Amino acid sequence: MRFQAAHKLVTYLLVLSALAALGTTGVLAPGNAIAFLIVCACSFGVDAGSTRLTAALDRAAGGVRAATGLLLVAIVWRIWRRMPDADLAPAFDLVLVLLGYKLLYRRNHRDYVHIYALSFILVLVASTITATFLFVAAFAVYVVLATWALILFHLRREMEENYLVRHSAQAPSQKVGIGRILGSRRVVGRAFFATTFVVAAAVFVGALAVFAFVPRLGAGFVLGARAQPNLIGLSDEVALGRYGTAAGARHAVVLRATLPRLRALGSEAARQDAAEQLYFRGAVYDAYDSGRWLRSRRPELRTVIDEAGGRAFIHELGELPTPDTLAGAERQEIEAVGIPATVLFAVDRPVAIELPSKRLGAAGSVGVVPRWSGEAALRVGDDAQNGVGDGFVTLAHAHYVAYSRPRALAAPALDARARLDNLALPEGLQRLKELGTRLGSGQGDGGDSEKITAVIDWLRSGHSYTTHPPERPAGVDPVDDFVFSQPVGHCEFFASAAVLLLRAAGVPARYVTGFRGGEWNSIGGYVAVRGERAHAWAEAFVAGTGWTRVDATPPADALAPAGRLDATSDALDFFWSRWVVGYDLGRQRDLAHQAWHGLGHFGPGEPPGRILLALLLGAALTALGFAVRRVRRRHAYGLRFGAASAGAGASAPRAEGAIDRLYRRTLGRLSRLGWPRRPNETPHEYASRLQAAGPFAKDAAFDSLTARYAAARFGGQQPADDTVAALGRTIGDVLSRSQQN
């Protein structure tokens, strides 16, 4: 390939790989991407001083610059208007516009440098916000192309700027036109690209090694810990009809949970069934007001958190945590990847949370902070433990370990004030209160459990589930409308109605949101929860048992499981998130620990582990490989220099003849006389040297021997034995005389 064409092609491919890296973030608008690709395609034929299009563009440079400037101003205005909320999408557009401009005006080295710098910025920024493993593929391609592009750019610059000068002693030196060299096919070829590809691959592997082995100590001295903006979602209030509808459209995975209990089950079907039964509890609300669930934020409802042993133990007022709280609790690793909320999610009722270890020197620590009604959240700040830190951390990307129980910790009785809070009913809703009272009283002296059953049965018997509830009339409470007028609704209406009816029946209850069920991902060995599994249910306080989950929503049809491709993709994303994005000092420590165990502790008397054996086997195979290579090279050498006489395709080395032996013996004698053959000397050069000054200065015998030896070795002309014998005698005489002298 011509040098100039190779350089241009590699530059464009580099830009496209940066665009692909940006594309993995999902923030690139398709329209903008298509517009940029069109600019790329148009600019490809524009080279300095080459075509009419270039000339036209040069003439229109003022207009293009003005248009670009206006576009930049507009983008800056978009960014400015959204301040202080960070929005990177216009910034990407800004970089793309600049990049397109530079591609259209590739005139000198500086323009190429700008192109490389802008594409690097795209990759750099993409690396901060990407959440998919596809980035690493784009990054690998980018590394290879960047290596090629930088090399070709450097060579071109050296050619054009500096040194291609023709000298003459009679005239001043002149620069040589480099068009011929730029158009040459001999500067870079297949071997060049192959070799530099190996270098690029090594760079990529090195980058992975740096990624894997640089300790994640953190510093936070300058920029502080990474914090996400606090997005509104599950945090403060829920307006009925909004959350469920919005969540129902989300097919993306928002939560991944690794549960050893599920892994231990015997079959994939059993794991899938168990995954469907899981409830991931999140936000809890205790106050209802005209279709909205709120937190009353009363002190008696405040969650209590105790720190011990690196864990945050969670309980409520009146609950009695015991020293063996974790005994029997279900451990789960939770990875929240797309939840716009600060609430910590966990299966059933979380009793303890473990967060990743704090980074050294981090400006703000992330901690578990108490909220209300057994709910906990993440907060970053200097005093996060007291709930007065700088800001909440949303679960746009969070890793933690939770310990859960099916029910709350042992609670002999609910605190009197908390009981009143959880029995409170809003003004109005008279029909609903009467209904609740009737359902409760209908159970006679039955306990809370019977009342709960009665409420669930009543709701399920006359109400149906839909994700598209009808429009509620204005001025009418949506729950009242759902219960008495339009008995169609989704989980939020069922849960709200259940809570209010239970309270009317005298059972303390509250409203809970979270996710119901998940898909067992057999590839990654975890439960994947998609946004469409968002759910709402109630919790009721049962005397002697404590807070108990009450799900009044009729069982809906099971959601269609993800296809194999989706599952594979999500498993890769999980791996990516766990081992790349979430790769921290703890994971490094775990890996080192496992490696150490794998090596089997080289202690005295302990047998080496399997990994040691594998290492030894690898070393032996490597040594064997080297030995085979050496033998093959020697064999090849023999074929080249030893079997020429046998013609092409000869495989057997040439047998040593009388002339060879004579030559070898003569060399030995000459060496002992102080005339050894130098390693870099050919036989004829050696003979010339000896004839110029040496034992054979006045004798052509050694010349003759050399000629016959060369003819035999390289020409296949073996001399007759008597000829060799005569030659041997002559040489012997000369050497003997030389020795005597």
Chain residues in the site for other proteins (CB under 8 A): 113, 123-124, 127-128, 130, 135-136, 139, 143, 146-147, 150-151, 153-155, 157-159, 162-164, 167-169, 173, 181, 186-187, 195-196, 199, 202-204, 206-211, 214, 216-226, 359, 362, 580-584
Q: Give the shortest CB-139-to-other proteins separation in angstroms.
A: 7
How far apart, in whole angstroms, are the C-alpha atoms of residue 308 and residue 429?
A: 45
CA atoms within 13 A on the CB side of 707: 8
How far apart, in whole angstroms, are the C-alpha atoms of residue 63 and residue 47?
A: 19
CA 70 from centre of chain: 37
Strand-strand pairing, 292-294 and 398-405: unpaired
Three-state secondary structure along 224-279? CCCCCCCCCCCCCCEECCCHHHHHHCCCCEEEEEECHHHHCCCCHHHHHHHHHCCE
Q: Give the shortest CB-551-to-other proteins separation in angstroms.
A: 38
Q: Give the shortest CB-489-to-other proteins separation in angstroms.
A: 43
Strand-strand pairing, 253-258 and 330-336: antiparallel
Q: Which is nearer to other proteins, 108 or 736 (CB)?
A: 108
How far apart, in whole angstroms, are the C-alpha atoms of residue 654 and residue 646?
A: 8
Q: Which is nearer to other proteins, 220 or 321 (CB)?
A: 220
CA 273 from centre of chain: 30
Strand-strand pairing, 365-370 and 376-381: antiparallel
Is the separation of the CB atoms in 299 and 418 below 8 Å? Answer: no
Is the separation of the CB atoms in 315 and 298 below 8 Å? Answer: no
How far apart, in whole angstroms, are the C-alpha atoms of residue 694 and residue 699?
A: 10
Is the separation of the CB atoms in 202 and 143 below 8 Å? Answer: no
How far apart, in whole angstroms, are the C-alpha atoms of residue 338 and residue 356?
A: 19
Cis amide prior to 84 (ω within 30 degrees): yes
Q: Give the shortest CB-200-to-other proteins separation in angstroms.
A: 8
Q: Which is nearer to other proteins, 409 or 581 (CB)?
A: 581
Neighbours of 627 (CB within 10 A): 10
Q: Give the shortest CB-686-to-other proteins separation in angstroms.
A: 21
Q: Which is nearer to other proteins, 66 or 202 (CB)?
A: 202
How far apart, in whole angstroms, are the C-alpha atoms of residue 703 and residue 686?
A: 9
Q: Which is nearer to other proteins, 634 or 664 (CB)?
A: 634
Q: Give the shortest CB-713-to-other proteins separation in angstroms.
A: 23
Q: Which is nearer to other proteins, 270 or 360 (CB)?
A: 360
β partners of residue 550 = 538
Q: Which is nearer to other proteins, 258 or 577 (CB)?
A: 577
How far apart, in whole angstroms, are the C-alpha atoms of residue 20 and residue 402?
A: 36
Q: Which is nearer to other proteins, 164 or 423 (CB)?
A: 164
- Does the CA dihedral 382-386-390-396 come out positive or negative? positive
Q: Is 488 helix (H, G, I), strand (E, B) or coil?
A: strand
Q: Which is nearer to other proteins, 80 or 221 (CB)?
A: 221
Q: Which is nearer to other proteins, 184 or 717 (CB)?
A: 184
Q: Give the shortest CB-583-to-other proteins separation in angstroms.
A: 5
Q: Give the shortest CB-144-to-other proteins separation in angstroms.
A: 11
Q: Give the shortest CB-127-to-other proteins separation in angstroms.
A: 4
Q: Give the shortest CB-650-to-other proteins separation in angstroms.
A: 24
Q: Give the shortest CB-739-to-other proteins separation in angstroms.
A: 27
* Rg of the chain (C-alpha set): 40
Q: Give the shortest CB-147-to-other proteins separation in angstroms.
A: 7
DSSP string, 635-685: HHHHHHHH-GGG-TT--SPPPP-HHHHHHHHHHHHHHHTT-PPPTT--HHH
Residue 584 in tokens? 């921290």
Q: Give the shortest CB-381-to-other proteins separation in angstroms.
A: 16
At position 184, the amino acid (one-letter code) is S
Q: Which is nearer to other proteins, 136 or 305 (CB)?
A: 136
H helix and E strand count, the chain: 24, 23
In terms of Cα–Cα distance, which of 463, 530, 466 is closest to 501?
463
Q: Which is nearer to other proteins, 29 or 202 (CB)?
A: 202
Q: Give the shortest CB-690-to-other proteins separation in angstroms.
A: 23
Q: Which is nearer to other proteins, 359 or 419 (CB)?
A: 359
Phi, psi dihedral angles at 58 (to 5 degrees): -65, -40
CA atoms within 13 A on the CB side of 219: 3
Q: Which is nearer to other proteins, 34 or 124 (CB)?
A: 124
How far apart, in whole angstroms, are the C-alpha atoms of residue 13 and residue 19?
A: 10
Is the separation of the CB atoms in 146 and 203 below 8 Å? Answer: no
